[in-house]
Amino acid sequence: METPTADDLLQFRDYSATNNSGAPAQINVNSPTHATSGGNFNAQQQQQQQRQRGDPLADLIYDMSSSTAATAGGGGGAGAQGASLDGAANVGGAGAGGARLSFLTIEYYQQFFNVDTYMVLERIVNSMIPKRAASNYLRMNIGENPDLYGPFWITITLIFSIAISGNIASYLQLADDSYQWHYNFHLVSYAATCIFLYANILPAILWALFKYSLKPVDQADAIETDSATYTPTLLSLMCIYGYSLAIYIPVSILWVINISLLQWLLVITAAMLSGTVLIAVLTPALRNSQYSLFLIVGILSAHVILAAGFLLYFFHSPPDALAAGPKPTLPQVLPPAHMVQQAVSQQPVVGDLPQANQTG
Amino acid sequence: MDAKLDMFEDVNTSPSLEGDMSIPGRRTTTTTSQNGVPDYNTLDEPIRETVLRDIRAVGIKFYHVLYPKEKSSLLRDWDLWGPLVLCTLMATILQGSSSADSMADNGPEFAQVFVIVWIGAAIVTLNSKLLGGNISFFQSVCVLGYCLTPVALALIICRVILMAKHTRFLFFLRFVTTTLGFTWATYASFIFLGQSQPPHRKPLAVYPIFLFFFIISWLVLSHN
- Residue B192 pLDDT > 50, yes or no? yes
CB contact under 8 A, B167 and A355: no
Query: What residues 94-153 of chain A have any CB closer than 8 A to a CB of chain B?
Result: 106, 109-110, 112-113, 115-118, 120, 149, 153
Contacts of A180 (CB under 8 A, 6+ apart): B103, B166, B224
Residue B21 belongs to what H/E stretch? Answer: strand B19-22
pLDDT digits 0-9 by tens, B138-164:
989 998 999 999 999 999 999 999 888
- A42 at interface of B, judged by CB pairs closer than 8 A: yes
pLDDT at A323: 36
* Backbone angles phi and psi of A185, in degrees to 5: -75, -15
Q: Do A351 and B109 touch (CB under 8 A)?
A: yes
Give the pLDDT band (50/70/90) at residue B14.
low
Tell me what percent of the residues of chain A surpass a pLDDT of 70. 60
| Among A31, A39, A167, beta carbon nearest to B222 | A167
Contact A236, A138 (CB under 8 A): yes
CB contact under 8 A, B108 and A185: yes
pLDDT reading at B111 higher than 80: yes
The identity of residue B158, as a single letter, is C
Nearest CA-CA distance, residue B171 and chain A, Å = 11
Q: Is the pLDDT of residue A155 over 70?
A: yes
Q: What is the pLDDT of residue A93?
A: 40
pLDDT at B182: 94
Look at residue A307 and tell me whether its pLDDT is greater than 90. Answer: no
CB contact under 8 A, B203 and A41: no
Q: What is the pLDDT of residue A78?
A: 41
pLDDT of A1 > 70? The answer is no
> Can you give the pLDDT at residue B211?
94
User: Cβ contact (<8 Å) for B211 and A153?
Assistant: yes
Out of A69-83, A177-191, A295-309, least confident range: A69-83
At A241-262, the pLDDT tens digits run 999 999 999 998 888 888 888 8
Q: Is A5 on the interface with B (CB under 8 A)?
A: no
Residue B74 has pLDDT above 70, yes or no: no
Distance from C-alpha of B143 to C-alpha of B61, rounded to nearest angstrom: 9
Give A38 or A172, the one with higher predicted confidence: A172
pLDDT(A24) > 50: yes
According to the model, what pLDDT value does residue B217 have? 92
In order, the DSSP letters of B95-107 are: PPP-S--TT----
pLDDT score for B149: 92
**Section B24-48 average pLDDT:** 61
Q: Per-residue pLDDT for A327 more than 50?
A: no
User: Are A28 and B203 inside 8 Å of each other by CB?
Assistant: no
pLDDT at A350 over 80: no
| pLDDT on residue A357 | 42
- With a cut of 50, say whether residue A318 has pLDDT above it: no
Q: Which residues neighbour A27 within 8 Å (Cβ) at sequence distance 6 or greater? A: B19, B20, B21, B22
Q: Residue B101's pLDDT band (boundaries 50, 70, 90)?
A: very low
Report chain B's mean pLDDT, rounded to a whole number.
Answer: 81
Does A181 touch chain B if contact means CB atoms closer than 8 Å? yes
Q: How far, in Å, CA of B205 to CA of B128, rounded?
A: 6
Q: Does the pLDDT at position A178 exceed 50?
A: no
Mean of pLDDT values over A51-58:
68
Residue with more model confidence, A1 or A255: A255
Which residues of chain B have a CB within 8 Å of the CB of A25? 21-24
pLDDT bracket for residue A134 (50, 70, 90): confident
User: A100, A97, A42, A110: which is closest to A71 by C-alpha?
Assistant: A110
Residue B112, pLDDT > 80, answer yes
Check CB contact of B134 with chain A, cutoff 8 Å: yes
pLDDT greater at residue A230 or residue B151:
B151
More confident call, B7 vs A196: A196
Contact status of B32 with chain A (Cβ, < 8 Å): no
Sign (positive or negative) of CA dihedral B56, B62, B67, B71:
positive
Reply yes or no on whether the pLDDT at B28 is more than 60.
no
Run of H or E residues at B157: helix B149-161
Size of interface A-B (CB pairs under 8 A): 134
pLDDT at position A151 is 92
- Compare CB distances from B204 to A29, A112, A117 and report the shortest one's residue: A117
Is the model's pLDDT at A188 over the cut of 60? yes
More confident residue, B94 or A23: B94
Of B76, B127, B218, the CB nearest to A164: B218
User: Does residue A38 belong to the interface with chain B, where contact is any CB pair within 8 Å?
Assistant: yes
ipTM, two decimals: 0.75
- Residue B191 has a pLDDT of 84
pTM for this model (two decimals) = 0.67
Q: What is the dihedral of CA B179, B181, B184, B190, to 10 degrees?
A: -90
Burial A253-284 (b: 16+ CB within 10 A, else e): eebbeeeeeebeebbeebbebbbebbbbbbeb
Residue A344 has pLDDT above 90, yes or no: no
| d(CA A71, nearest CA chain B) in Å | 9
Q: Which residues have a Cβ under 8 Å from the Cβ of B9 and sit 6 or more positions away?
A: none
Q: What is the mean pLDDT of residues A201-214?
A: 89
Instruction: Check residues A328 and B114 and name the one with the higher pLDDT.
Output: B114
Is residue A23 less than 8 Å (CB to CB) from chain B?
Answer: yes
Q: pLDDT above 90 covers what percent of chain A?
A: 11
Task: Report DSSP letters for A68-135, one per residue.
Answer: HHHHHHHHHHHHHHHHH--SS--GGGTTSSSSSPPTTSHHHHHGGG---HHHHHHHHHHHHSTT-S-T
pLDDT of residue A211: 86
CA distance A43 to chain B (A): 9
Which of A315-324, A327-336, B178-187 tops mean pLDDT? Answer: B178-187
Helices and strands counted in chain A (H then E): 13, 1
Which residue does chain A place closest to B71, by CA atoms?
A38
pLDDT reading at A333 higher than 90: no
DSSP string, A129-192: STT-S-TTIIIIIITTS--SHHHHHHHHHHHHHHHHHHHHHHHHHT--TTPPP---THHHHHHH
8 Å CB contact of B211 and A157:
yes
pLDDT bracket for residue B71 (50, 70, 90): low
| Average pLDDT for A196-216 | 88
Residue A111 has pLDDT above 70, yes or no: yes
HSE toward the beta carbon, residue B76, CA cutoff 13 A: 17
